[in-house]
């Protein structure tokens, strides 16, 4: 509230504030989950950059906007704040006019081989254990995952460019945190707050893409008519309704879209949209606390599903399954779920993926689903290796 900006027509949705990620394990601050698993990556549970000046590129209109916040304080008043912001914009314009040297980097002959932190047989055994838990009534669904790692032959920003080329998604991001970087192409919002409106779009139900439009249509038809996928999706829509119901006005939560099939670079997904009106006195961080982590990355009911994940997975999830996005000075929030994303740290690239497991899950299918979800990032790394001018 201290920095709430005056509304200016025509500005982009984000006008400065905090940008970064909220990790999966932040939920431990509000739920009885105990200590996390060992953390070989050593990432913080949350990392945010406070931004007061930015370049905003509209990819549809091919327009670049330079934006700087004018903070009014007691010392200088409005005129001084305006002059500071105008000076920041002028300096940024000058930097944009300068040439940027591009270092030479030969194309990498062989892309790296990503290796999972768990053998296939062990992953499938964990799926079987989850099925036992579900049939015993502990949970309706649990989402196990595996982490793939490889030496980094290219910079993380080159992987981001590769993702833009092979896996364009509603949420594209590259975050530089000094000793680690995050680059991703997430198809799935966690939660979005605009004014007093809040929405979430659960994605649950996955099929590999076909080799032709006709095969895509056939696979989409099979996906949307699969009883297991439909039941799993409806359950997670209900979980999304419950998450929003904790922060929205009574009776305002609605399902705006139910079970549409969307096409991405390597997979087909079943998608729905749930929205509501925020209660008086509820802010964006309250919404994030209610929704994190997404049920599509944990399972349901959330707490018991996460306890089972802690038991079966061997490492802390870190940023995977958490939220990546921004909290604007005006109180708006827009976050994506950390999936289809690479973490670059200490000369290694790390990609994590999983899938929902229910009572009739087939271990081999669940393993293949998690690999298929990671393939888009693997392909982005391959493309980056083929582009020496992306250094």
Q: Catalytic site residues?
A: 269, 296, 320, 340, 356
- Among residues 214, 248, 180, 241, the alpha carbon closest in space to that of 21 is found at 180
Token output for 258:
């139910």
348 backbone φψ class: left, alpha, beta (φ>0; ψ -120 to 50): beta
Kindly report the three-state secondary structure assignment for every residue of the chain: CCCCCCCCCCCCCCCCEEEEEECHHHHHHCCCCCCCCCCCCCCCCEEEEEECEEEEEECCCCEEEEEECCCCCCCCHHHHHHHHHHHHHHHHHHHHHCCCCCCCCCCCCCCCCCEECCCHHHHHHHHHHHHHHHHCCCCCEECCEEEEEEECCCCHHHHHHHHHHHCCCCEEEEEECCCEEEEEEECCEEEEEECCEEEECCEEEEEECCCCHHHHHHHHHHHHCCHHHHHHHHHHHHHHHHHHHCCECCCCCEEEEEEEEEECCCEEEEEEEEEEEECCCCCHHHHHHHHCCCHHHHEECHHHHHHHHHHHCCCCCCCCCCEEEEEECCCCEEEEECCCEEEEECCEEEEEEECCECCCCCHHHHHHHHHHHHHHHHHHHHHHHCCHHHC
- Among residues 388, 355, 332, 333, the alpha carbon closest in space to that of 127 is found at 355
CA angle 33, 38, 40 (to 5 degrees): 140
Q: How far apart are the first and last CA of the chain?
A: 41
Token output for 58:
């509209």
């Amino acid at each position: 509230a201290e920095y709430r900006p005056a509304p200016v027509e025509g500005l982009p949705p984000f006008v400065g504030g905090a940008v970064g990620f909220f990790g999966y394990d932040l939920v431990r601050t509000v739920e009885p989950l105990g200590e996390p698993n060992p953390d070989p990556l050593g990432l913080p549970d949350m990392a945010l950059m406070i931004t007061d000046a930015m370049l905003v590129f509209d990819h549809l209109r091919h327009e670049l906007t330079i934006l700087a916040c004018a903070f009014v304080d007691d010392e200088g008043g409005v005129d001084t704040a305006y002059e500071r912001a105008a000076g920041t914009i002028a300096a940024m314009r000058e930097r944009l006019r300068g040439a940027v040297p591009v270092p030479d980097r030969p194309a990498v002959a062989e892309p790296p081989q990503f290796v999972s932190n768990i053998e296939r047989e062990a992953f499938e055994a964990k799926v079987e254990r989850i099925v036992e838990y579900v049939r015993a009534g502990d949970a309706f669904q649990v989402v196990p995952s595996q982490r793939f790692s490889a030496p980094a032959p290219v910079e993380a920003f080159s992987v981001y460019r590769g993702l833009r080329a092979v896996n364009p998604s509603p949420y594209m991001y590259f975050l530089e945190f000094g000793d680690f970087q995050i680059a991703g192409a997430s198809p799935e919002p966690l939660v979005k707050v605009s004014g007093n409106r809040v929405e979430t779009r659960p994605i649950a139900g996955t099929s590999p893409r076909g080799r032709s439009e006709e095969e895509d249509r056939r696979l989409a038809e099979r996906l949307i008519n699969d009883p297991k996928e439909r039941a799993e999706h409806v359950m997670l829509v209900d979980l999304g309704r419950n998450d929003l119901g904790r922060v929205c006005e009574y009776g305002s939560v609605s399902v705006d879209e139910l079970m549409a099939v969307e096409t991405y670079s390597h997979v087909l997904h079943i998608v729905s949209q749930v929205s509501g009106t925020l209660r008086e006195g509820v802010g964006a961080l309250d919404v994030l606390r209610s929704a994190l982590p997404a049920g599509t990355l944990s399972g349901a009911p959330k707490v018991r599903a996460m306890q089972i994940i802690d038991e079966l997975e061997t490492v802390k999830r870190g940023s995977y399954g958490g939220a990546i996005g921004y909290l604007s000075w005006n109180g708006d929030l827009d976050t994506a779920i950390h999936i289809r994303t690479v973490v670059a740290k200490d000369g290694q690239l790390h990609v994590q993926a999983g899938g929902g497991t229910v009572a009739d899950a087939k271990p081999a299918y669940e393993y293949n689903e998690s690999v298929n979800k990671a393939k888009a990032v693997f392909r982005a790394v391959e493309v980056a290796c083929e582009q020496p001018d992306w250094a």
